[in-house]
Amino acid sequence: MEKKEKDSFRSKLSKRIIRTPSPAAKKAFFYIQETGILKTEDAGASHREDIESFLIAAVVSGSGTLNVDGDNHTLSAGDCFFIDCRVPHTFSSSESDPWELVWTNFNGATSEQYYEYFLSQNRNVFHPVYFDRIVSAMNELINVSEKKSPDSEILASKLIVELLTLALTVNISGEQYDSALKQKLAAVNSYIEEHFNEDLSLEQLSSRFYISKFYLTREYKKIYGNTIFQHIITARINYGKQLLRFSDKSVEEIAHLCGFNDQSYFARQFKKAENLTCFAYRKKWRD
């Protein structure tokens, strides 16, 4: 690991809390490694890599830059960033407008999976409309970490999940999307929910809602996190689960009622989703 820091990053104005997770927390929870507030009085830079940690930070005031694996970003008040600290990264405060950051280094549970999903939807730097909620959650993390109460690790894990949720929903909140587009995509989503067992196609949806196939595909996935095809399959599987539990219909009948023309294809998709065959699911979940 390479690490370079100027003295200003250890300023008396800053607060840094370092924690070591218990074995139980390391096994089951999201856990804090470091958290705190960074206030600089002049320019300062920090370079790190090969650290088994994830970092979420919010720029409360001032400005600076972030470089993640060669990708440069300019940051100012209201910006946040989410990075994998194993990747080479450098963040630098502006000399003329030194910044204040509130930040949290964490790991554990499904941190890596959250991060991979985040990057599939966003870039490392984002500008949330609910910035104050992110700062508030990190301030709560600082308070929880300082108190060292018996349940502090559980509370910290809960707050990290809140932070991750705020980061992951950046594309479906506030000003990130035009309201007319959101309404149209919501209408597409509702139509799929109501007609999932019909012979739906991207061409049909594109024509019905007057939106290009490419744009519909891209924006739908940004908003809902799944492709339209995945949503249709999921809706059909959900209905299939109801019929398996609460009816005596055969798997062939259920496949047809769910919108599948091929029973074996339904069976494969069901097994892929549930890791159980239709018959095993019915046996386990029947009242």
- pLDDT, tens only, 107-125: 999 999 999 999 988 889 9
Structure tokens at 134: 């992110």
Could you tell me where in the chain the CATH 1.10.10.60 domains are found? 179-285
Share of the chain above pLDDT 90, in %: 69
Whose structure tokens read 């219909």? 249
DSSP summary character for residue 209: T
Give the pTM.
0.70
Q: Reduced to 3 states, what is the DSSP secondary structure of residue 83? A: strand
Residue-level pLDDT at 11: 46
Distance CA 74, CA 126 (A): 11
Q: Does the structure show a pLDDT above 80 at 44?
A: no
The per-residue pLDDT for range 150-189, each reduced to its tens digit, is 899 999 999 999 999 999 887 655 445 567 778 889 999 9
Share of the chain above pLDDT 70, in %: 91
Architecture of 4-173 per CATH? Sandwich (2.60)
- Picking from 78, 82, 79, the residue whose alpha carbon sits closest to that of residue 164 is 82
Enumerate the β-bridge partners of residue 89. 48, 68
pLDDT tens digits for range 206-217: 999 988 888 899
Give ranges for CATH 2.60.120.280 in the chain: 4-173
| 57-81 confidence digits (pLDDT tens) | 999 999 999 999 989 999 999 999 9
**Which DSSP symbol is given to 204?**
H
Q: Please work out, in degrees rounded to the nearest 5, the angle formed at the alpha carbon of residue 169 by the alpha carbons of 215 and 94.
A: 100
For domain 179-285, the CATH superfamily is Homeodomain-like (1.10.10.60)
DSSP 8-class letter at 12:
T
Can you tell me whether residue 114 is helix, strand or coil? helix
Please report the sign of the dihedral spanned by the C-alpha atoms of residue 105, residue 110, residue 112, residue 114.
negative
Greater model confidence, 46 or 245: 245
